Structure formats: C-alpha cells, structure tokens
Chains A and B, each alone.
Chain A
C-alpha cells in the first residue's frame, strides 16, 4: 500500500520568510496529492492540491510542486504570516484506491513575529 513520509516534523520561520515542507510517496499509482492545514481542535482544511499531470500549481502565497519520477512533492509558503501557524499534512491518493487518502505525519509550522 501507499506510504507517505513528511519532513520536517516541526518548522519555525520568521514572519515574512518562506516555509517549505517536503513529502515522498511510495505508490506510483497515486495521482492526486492534496495538502491540508489543521488548526488546533479543528478538522483539516484543503489548502491546495495537485494532480499527477501537472508539475506545479500556485495559489497566491502557496505553491506545490510534484516530481513524479522521484515521487516527491513539496509545499511552499511565501511571505509567511502569523495566521499560517498550524499543522500541515501532505497526502496521496489514487482513483484505483477508492480515493482512500494516506496522510503524511504532519509538520507543525510556527511563525515567529
């Protein structure tokens, strides 16, 4: 089955700087890679996603890149703000897996003022 690894587990950056979170996946059949932001005591919220037919996607300060050959995908947050502080999860799934999402272990991002 699919296995998703995520690094780092914790990340602290100065407000205004960029943050990068990296993930790898094992199943070459995975073709959909969502990223979620989870605030304390709440459910995860989709912030951006990428499909396997695309190498990069950007939405304002957030971008995601995908390297299918290396089975790597990354989240980039630029111009970080205090409200970006949260736990971020990468995930992978495929149509053939009945859309079961496999989550990474999470990254706790802290933005220093």
Chain B
C-alpha cells in the first residue's frame, strides 16, 4: 500500500524558534498534500491544502505567515512553524493524495512541543 512518512516524529523547540516538518510520499506521486493539526483528544483539523508547484490554500483562521507550506516536488511537502510559541504545541499530520484514487494516505504524525 501507499506509504507516507513524516520527519521528525517528535521535536522539542524553544519559544521563538522555527521548526520544519517534512512529509514524503514514498512510493507514489502526490499532486496534493494536506496538513492537519490535532490537539489532545480532539479530531483532526485541516490547516491547508498543498499543491505541487503552486501556493498552498489555507483554511479560515490559519495564519499563512506562521505556517509556511512548500510543496516543491511531487513527493515532498514541508510545513514550517515560524516563531513557534507554546500554543503551537500539537500533533501535526500530513496526508497525500495520489492523482487517481480519492483515498488519502496519512503520515504517522509529528509531535511538536514548544517550551
């Protein structure tokens, strides 16, 4: 089956620093990738849609200058949390959409803790 990886799996950073999270589709090309945020005991909330070669589309309420998304290739999307603060601590999950089927394949998630 299709595999999506994320790196790192866990990251701890100090307040004010920036953190980059990578999302890779390992055995397929993903024209579209999605970024979600999940707080403890809550559902996944879509942050943005990332399309290869174009600007990301952000959901309402998500600051595009704080959550920078780059989808530079058909197998890689990155999410950079700029000037992270403790309230940005969360579980960040990406998913990738192959060009054909509509099933999205999810990555294992990245646990971000901002101290």
**Chain A residues within 8 Å of B, Cβ to Cβ:** 32, 34, 36, 41-46, 49, 89, 93, 95, 98-106
State whether the Cβ of B67 lies closer than 8 Å to any Cβ in chain A: no
Residues of B in contact (CB 8 Å), total 22
Q: Which residue of A lies closest to B45 (CB)?
A: A103
Digit string of B72-101 for contact with A (CB within 8 Å is 1, else 0)?
000000000000000000000101010000
Which of B44, B102, B107 is close to A103, meaning CB atoms less than 8 Å apart? B44
State whether the Cβ of B46 lies closer than 8 Å to any Cβ in chain A: yes
State whether the Cβ of B25 lies closer than 8 Å to any Cβ in chain A: no
State whether the Cβ of B7 lies closer than 8 Å to any Cβ in chain A: no
A-B contact count (CB 8 A): 50
Complex CA–CA separation, A45 to B106 (angstroms): 7
**Chain B residues within 8 Å of A, Cβ to Cβ:** 4, 6, 32, 34, 42-46, 49, 93, 95, 97, 102-109, 111
| Contact yes or no, B104 A101, CB < 8 A | yes
Q: Which residue of B lies closest to A98 (CB)?
A: B49
| Contact yes or no, B102 A89, CB < 8 A | no
Which of B4, B44, B49, B103 is close to A34, meaning CB atoms less than 8 Å apart? B103
B105 neighbours in A (Cβ, 8 Å): 46
Complex CA–CA separation, A52 to B95 (angstroms): 22
Task: Give A10 Cβ to nearest chain B Cβ, in Å.
Answer: 10
Complex CA–CA separation, A89 to B103 (angstroms): 15
